[in-house]
Structure 1
Amino acid sequence: MAADPAIDAVTPPVAGDPAPDFTLPDTHGTPTQLADLRGEPVLVVFYPFAFSGICTGELCELRDNIEDFESAGVRLLAVSTDPVFTLKAWQEIEGFGFDLLSDFWPHGAAARAFGVFDERSGHALRGSFLVDADGIVRWSVVHPRGQRRDLDGYLQALAEI
């Protein structure tokens, strides 16, 4: 991935790197800390905006295929810089059965830690990180805004854990 001055200088973690920790509120305001989920694999999916076309399509596809993640024992966390109330409304409308986490304040701190925060526009890029039970990234992919992630990539990553 070529250097882009609009993206934070932190390089996104790749397979073998420890996953950065974060604590973010879910749609009920309950804090979720990544380190507290050790012992189970977690897929952390950063996306730009709730209610936007590509983001809705991607997360609905994950929702519609959640059994693949559940049968692999993988917990899904979807993270954006939207406020909690926006995410709660979106979750209720779309029926997402996984956690939506708000990286609203401090704005984009988790996305920055994962190297996927776009400073110019103030949102997360499309970064996905499969973290194993020990907190190590086993698979990752980062796409710019406007470029959709492929479900097959997730399914291949699940097959390897």
Structure 2
Amino acid sequence: MAIKVGDPAPDFTIPDQHGRPTTLSEVNSPTLIVFFPAAFTPVCQSELAALREADLRGTTVLAISCDSPYALRAFAESEGLPFALLSDFWPHGDVARAYGAFHADRGIAGRLSVLVDGAGVVRARWESPAGQAREVSEYLGAIAVLERA
């Protein structure tokens, strides 16, 4: 089932690209969760590069794929990504499933993003079809609305 605006964000603990556990409920700021299909693919590279360049005004970015932490570390280093890339590798796709982003037929996460406020509630949601990047400007607009709330 897909997560909706107003739902509590499912909590999770999964490793980052360095193998360190990251728990959503321990992040002390608004959080942009960005599910992406795979490291080293053109659309994912351009999307995450756009996030790297954006001024997200104190919002934490957690980018999640079903790739292994080893692949994500190489990807983060190659692309100069300053935010956490989280591995939903094992159990395979559990976090993506909890958010309604997992494509079981392909074994990957789809292009789903959610903005979670400091209380753990989903305040915005975006989804794009395969091969189509999400717009960073939409994230920035939702972050600005959250700041004013």
TM > 0.5:
yes
Match of 2:89 among 92, 104, 116: 104
Q: Give distance in 2, aligned partners of 1:129 and 1:158.
A: 11
Q: Give distance in 2, aligned partners of 1:107 and 1:59.
A: 22
Aligned-pair CA distance for 1:152: 1.4
Q: Is residue 154 from structure 1 mapped to residue 139 from structure 2 by the alignment?
A: yes
Name stretches of at least 5 consecutive residues in structure 1 with no aligned partner.
1-9
Name stretches of at least 5 consecutive residues in structure 2 with no aligned partner.
none
Q: Is residue 16 from structure 1 mapped to residue 6 from structure 2 by the alignment?
A: yes
TM-score, normalised to structure 1, is 0.88
RMSD: 0.9
Alignment-derived partner of residue 6 in structure 1:
none
Deviation readout 1:76-135 (Å, 9 max, x if unpaired): 000000000000001111110000000000000000000010010000000000000000
TM-score, normalised to structure 2, is 0.95
Q: Percent identity?
A: 49
Aligned amino acid, residue 46 of structure 1:
F
Matches within 5 A, 1:51-62: 51-62=40-51
Match of 2:124 among 124, 136, 139: 139
Alignment-derived partner of residue 50 in structure 1:
39
Match of 2:26 among 36, 41, 58: 36
Count residues in correspondence: 146
Q: Give distance in 2, aligned partners of 1:151 and 1:96.
A: 15
Q: Is residue 90 from structure 1 mapped to residue 75 from structure 2 by the alignment?
A: yes
